Amino acid sequence: MIALSTAFPKAMIALEIDGKQDFQVLDVSCKQAENILKAIDSLLDKNDFAIQDNDVFAVVVGPGSFTGLRIGTALVKGFCAGLDQVCKVVPISSLDLLAFEYVKQNKPESDFACVINALSGLYFVCQYHANGEKKGEEALVDSEQYKLLNLEKIGIKGENVANIEIELCAESLLEYANILARSGKFCDFHTLSPVYLRKSQAEDALDQKNLKKS
């Protein structure tokens, strides 16, 4: 398996082939579009593997950074389309991954909500039971709705939008991807697409422009 996350400022790559694991994290200044493919190649070379040795890909599909999500999903679709063998794809929710990491680190006793800053006073939110099981749908909420959310809020370190902030790691990305794979949570790579939950700023601007014309 090769698991990727380009949904957050730090990109994560996790590799597990023939029982061998390795990981790489690219920092916030890594220019993901330019360097993620080089980093994957480097990780494979370091472990004496070729991309053809892998037949399962996992990728974080969002919600999160518009550009980052497109990078990750496009890479996986390209790999699957270009390889001769049939590859399985595991799509991963960024909020579910955050919940998994929080439960793993803290073993909470009460329900909680995971949150990602969607910018412009908006937030991506999903509620979870104490064991990490999803209890609601992922949603985009405004600041007033966010304030009314009467649960412990779990966010990504550095975003400064939640009561508790945690650091995501590539090891947990691989662990969670394997859990989903063992449960058969695969999708056809042709239908793999980012989960945005909101329109981009360019789409919002176009809508406003069209509204003024009508």
What is residue 12's predicted lDDT score, i.e. its pLDDT? 96
Q: Look-up: residue for tokens 């799509």?
A: 91
If we measure between CA atoms, which residue out of 91, 81, 64 comes closest to residue 155? 64
What is the tens place of the pLDDT at every residue in 154-182?
A: 999 999 999 999 999 999 999 999 999 99
Statement: residue 29 has pLDDT above 90? no
Task: Report whether 68 contacts 196 (CB < 8 A).
Answer: no
Domains and CATH numbers, the chain: 2-93+168-200 (3.30.420.40), 95-166 (3.30.420)
What is the tens place of the pLDDT at every residue in 34-82?
A: 889 999 999 999 999 999 999 999 999 999 989 999 999 999 999 999 9
- The token pair at 207 is 């809508």
Model confidence, pTM: 0.92
What is residue 201's predicted lDDT score, i.e. its pLDDT? 54
Task: Report whether 181 contacts 1 (CB < 8 A).
Answer: yes
Find all residues with CB under 8 Å of 165, minimum gap 6, and list them. Answer: 154, 155, 156, 157, 158, 159
Statement: residue 203 has pLDDT above 90? no
What is residue 199's predicted lDDT score, i.e. its pLDDT? 63
What is residue 202's predicted lDDT score, i.e. its pLDDT? 53
Band of the pLDDT at 211, cuts 50, 70, 90? low
How far apart CA 56 and CA 76 sit, in angstroms, is 10
Band of the pLDDT at 1, cuts 50, 70, 90? very high
What is the tens place of the pLDDT at every residue in 72-116?
A: 999 999 999 999 999 999 999 999 999 999 999 999 999 999 999
How far apart CA 166 and CA 32 sit, in angstroms, is 22
**Across 111-133, average pLDDT:** 97
Statement: residue 206 has pLDDT above 80? no
The mean-pLDDT minimum among 4-18, 40-54, 200-214 falls in: 200-214
Q: Which residue has the higher pLDDT, 16 or 29?
A: 16
Sign of the alpha-carbon dihedral angle for 32, 33, 37, 42: negative
**Across 118-123, average pLDDT:** 94
Residues 136-140: contacts with CB within 8 Å, 24+ apart? 138/63, 138/93, 138/95, 138/195, 138/197, 139/197, 140/63, 140/197, 140/198
Q: Look-up: residue for tokens 């937030």?
A: 123
